[in-house]
């Protein structure tokens, strides 16, 4: 198990994000200035942004409000969607299964929450949470509700829970369950440990 101090020590300067500055010129041209990640006087690259063009590498800073519809009553998303009341209302979300670590539930008066603080580490036993999570999803379905499952990015933990749910409740094979979840949310990518656990999971 990684301790926080080990993680902090292991964080190298090279992993620091490059600094990006958005600049709009007097004539309305939009430029993006990039500096090296070392914070020094490294080279500055300037790129002109086209209207509506994707920024690619700065995508992390934009909200990810995409919601994957796995089943009519079962949605998969990131914490951004879980924190956006318009998105939640648009998808008629009534229940939220929060499997992130340290992410707060913003609308306790309006929605039914269940929180399990799961660490996104390969040696976390993700399958040990499937029974409890599936019962909550069943509860939402029985009440005619819609449950949104989320972690931080909606990529590893929450997708693993949804894949496990399909295996446990619908009897799907790992490949079928993974395929269905990936189709609903293309950014789905369980960490290698979760992937392996689910592959060998026998409900």
Helix ranges, 21-129 (H): 79-82, 85-90
The span from the CA of 87 to the CA of 64, in Å, is: 11
Residues in the chain: 203
The span from the CA of 13 to the CA of 21, in Å, is: 19
* Identified catalytic residue from 96, 151, 162, 166: 151
> Under DSSP, is residue 92 helix (H, G, I), strand (E, B) or coil?
coil
The separation between the first and the last C-alpha atoms of the chain, rounded to the nearest angstrom, is 26
| Active-site annotation holds for 133 | no
The span from the CA of 76 to the CA of 68, in Å, is: 5
Q: Could you tell me if 154 and 81 are in contact, meaning their C-beta atoms sit under 8 angstroms apart?
A: yes
Closest to 73 (Cα-Cα) out of 201, 189, 184: 184
Give the residue numbers marked as catalytic: 151
């Amino acid at each position: 198990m990684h301790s926080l101090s080990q993680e902090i020590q292991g964080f190298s300067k090279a992993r620091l994000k490059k600094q990006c500055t958005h600049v709009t010129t007097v004539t309305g041209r939009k430029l993006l200035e990039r500096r090296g990640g070392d914070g020094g006087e490294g080279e500055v690259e300037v790129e002109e942004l086209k209207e509506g063009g994707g920024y690619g590498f700065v995508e992390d800073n934009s909200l990810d409000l995409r919601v994957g519809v796995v089943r009519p009553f079962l949605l998969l998303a990131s914490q951004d969607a879980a924190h956006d009341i318009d998105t939640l209302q648009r998808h008629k979300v009534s229940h939220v299964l929060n499997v992130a670590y340290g992410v707060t539930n913003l609308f306790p008066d309006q929605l039914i929450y269940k929180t399990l603080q799961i660490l996104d580490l390969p040696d976390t036993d993700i399958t040990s949470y499937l029974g409890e999570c599936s019962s909550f999803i069943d509860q939402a379905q029985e009440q005619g509700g819609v449950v949104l499952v989320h972690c931080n990015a909606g990529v590893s933990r929450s997708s693993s829970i949804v894949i496990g749910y399909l295996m446990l409740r619908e009897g799907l094979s790992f490949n079928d369950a993974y395929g269905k979840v990936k189709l609903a949310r293309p950014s789905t990518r369980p960490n290698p440990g979760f992937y392996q656990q689910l592959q060998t999971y026998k409900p």
